Amino acid sequence: MPKVSICIPTYRQVEFLRKTLSSVLSQDFADYELIVSDDSSDASVENLLKEFDFNGKLRYFHNSPSLGSPANWNFAMKQAQGEYIKILHHDDFFTSENSLTKFVKFLDENPSSSFAFSGTVIDLLALKTKKIYSCSNKQFSKMTNAPDRLFFSNYIGAPSATIIRNDKTVFFDEKMKWLVDVDWYIKLIYNNPKVIFSKEPLICTVHGAEGQITQSVLLDKNIQIGEHVYLFEKLADKKIKCKKYSLLFQLLFHKYKVNDMSQLKAIYPVEKKLEPFFNKVFEAKNSAIVFKKIIFWLNKKSFRDHLFTLKTYLK
């Protein structure tokens, strides 16, 4: 059994995948298997793989018909035979030759932990610059004490920044696209709050590439509203502070021009038990004072800490 399974769910974009695969080959940690789960409708990924020699460590799967995201992510993870699972999306890559060594070390040295993550270099294609994206100590403490804080801001980043123990229990919710990673992190931390993190950027992720999921769902009203309500339903039985959620939904409904329960239900079938909460949200949203409250909320120190540490990556 390999120590770690590197799972790469792919969909075309071989120009990025070539760099991903090259970064895997450069790793000084050799006890891994490489799983490539390919959703492409053509042979572009399969042909690219012929350029590389992984010395028998590669396991390639071509999905026909394609599974879609995040089902393709789950499929790759379910094939994993390693003790640990290291997701690496096809447009992400390791930043140095010892990145995988450090990821494995997180869990090796912390046997009671099942989840670890690192900082990330963001390659901002449109701006032609790179930034470091990392969680602060304060954010980390708040997140592990109250995982639902991730609902308001993703302190962790992309799944490529993570490594988990392979216990075959926690997979991505295939009903989601936008908040799918946040939902996964929340489940992992609720299951085991002993999380390990490092500010060191061990992976690089590309932002702004043509065809990325982010680009297609960012302005999709149904996905944005529907997934926030769906995730809120999942969290409703937890000990959460609903006032914070009310303010967020007021902002969200204002942005997408959702003004009452009938319009909301046309997007998502709200559970009966949550109707009183959302009715109050609409009452507050439609009151004259709501925007003063929201501005006050956004400017409070406790709600400004959602911003990541961003600094230029010079390497």
Strands (E), 208-280: none
**pTM metric for this prediction:** 0.91
Residues making up the chain, counted from first to last: 315
CATH number for the domain formed by residue range(s) 4-213? 3.90.550.10
Tokens of 16: 């990025």
At residue 264, the pLDDT reads: 98
Query: How does DSSP classify residue 147?
Result: G
Tokens linked to 198:
């490092």
Structural domain boundaries of the chain? 4-213, 219-301
Distance of alpha carbon 161 from alpha carbon 179, whole angstroms? 16
pLDDT digits (tens, 9 = 90+) for 15-48: 999 999 999 999 999 999 999 999 999 999 999 9
**Cβ–Cβ under 8 Å, residues 2 and 30:** no
pLDDT tens across 82-97, in order? Answer: 999 999 999 999 999 9
